[in-house]
A = this chain, B = another copy of it.
Amino acid sequence: MDMIERVRRFNRAVTTRTGTLNESYLDRGRSFGQARVLFEIGPSGMDVRTLRERLSLDSGYCSRMLKALEKQGLVKVRQSAADRRRREASLTAKGRAEWSAYDRLSDDLARSMLAPLTEQQRTRLIDAMATVETLIAAGSVTFTAEAPDSADARFCIEAYFAELAERFEEGFDVALSNASGDPGMAPPGGTFLVARLAGRPVACGGVKTVGPRTGEIKRMWVARDARGLGIARRLLDALETEARALGMTRVVLDTNRALTEAHAMYRKAGYHETERFNDNPYAHLWFAKDFA
């Protein structure tokens, strides 16, 4: 059986098993739409805008469902203090009880999948599930080119700096690093990529022109909880593709001695160590790669 067929079989098997969950939602005497809204609001509440976006609902449709839930005494909707156009939905005590009931259905499904198995089978199943989940996550990471001062890009860069400060023996001060170059990481001379997992930014990296047909790769970072998915490698590939598209034939980069896992990756990706090409006080190693 080829891989495609295997994946299809898997999809079929899993969706038929988990499909029963959706049906059990209806047993609580509420339409699926309303159950979804109630469950999404959650015990900590949510503003209506976010709710609509998460469930991709029409505003009128959503408004009506909230009203219905309010009439059932499950939900309370009130004006937001910060922005009085907005409204915030939260669960009443009765609503939280219903939420728990829906939550329990997911637990029950999970339990029913494990119950008939032996302890050994359970462990095997859990391990395999973790692997599938991880690799599905890895596969759904998207890369987008955007301005290095976009909200998500800045979030990544901040996290990157924070991590450097933590990992460098000598600490890290943005002002001392040659950090002026962010604007260069935008068209026409460069580019900046943000990787997202389920909408959340989890990695970034940029390339900017530093000489004739030469680019420098900077700000490469992957969020701690997104490591081990091969994102760094794909990001590096993507940056090289961007560099080529910008007419570059050579890319260089510098790195700190503390970032050992990065050194290994650069070498494996075809980079070779080269002489110091900048005066970054935090850099101990300099790498370069020439495109064929």
Chain A 115-151, CB-CB to B under 8 Å as 1, else 0, gives 1111001101111111111011111110000000000
Asked if B129 contacts A7 (CB within 8 A), the reply is yes
Asked if B128 contacts A3 (CB within 8 A), the reply is no
| Residue picked from A114, A118, A133, most chain B C-beta under 10 Å | A133
Within 8 Å of chain B (Cβ to Cβ): is A107?
yes
Asked if B133 contacts A13 (CB within 8 A), the reply is yes
Shortest CB-to-CB span from A171 to chain B, Å, is 34
Asked if B139 contacts A3 (CB within 8 A), the reply is no
Within 8 Å of chain B (Cβ to Cβ): is A30?
no
Chain A 7-33, CB-CB to B under 8 Å as 1, else 0, gives 111110111111001000000000000
Asked if B130 contacts A131 (CB within 8 A), the reply is no
| Residue picked from A21, A114, A125, most chain B C-beta under 10 Å | A125
Within 8 Å of chain B (Cβ to Cβ): is A111?
yes
Asked if A132 contacts B128 (CB within 8 A), the reply is yes
Collect the chain B residues with CB atoms within 8 Å of residue A117's CB: 135, 138-139, 230
Asked if B139 contacts A135 (CB within 8 A), the reply is no
Asked if A135 contacts B128 (CB within 8 A), the reply is yes
Within 8 Å of chain B (Cβ to Cβ): is A200?
no
Within 8 Å of chain B (Cβ to Cβ): is A113?
yes
Within 8 Å of chain B (Cβ to Cβ): is A223?
no
Restricting to A152-168, which residues have a CB under 8 Å from any CB of B?
A: none
User: A264 vs B83: C-alpha distance in the bound complex, in angstroms?
Assistant: 71
Collect the chain B residues with CB atoms within 8 Å of residue A139's CB: 112-117
Asked if A114 contacts B7 (CB within 8 A), the reply is yes
Interface residues of chain A, those whose CB is within 8 Å of chain B, are 3-11, 13-18, 21, 106-107, 109-118, 121-122, 124-133, 135-141, 198, 230, 233-234
**A-B contacts besides A6-B126, A113-B139, 19 pairs, CB < 8 Å:** A3-B114, A7-B126, A8-B109, A8-B110, A11-B106, A13-B132, A13-B136, A112-B139, A114-B139, A116-B138, A116-B139, A117-B139, A121-B138, A125-B135, A125-B136, A127-B131, A128-B129, A129-B132, A132-B132
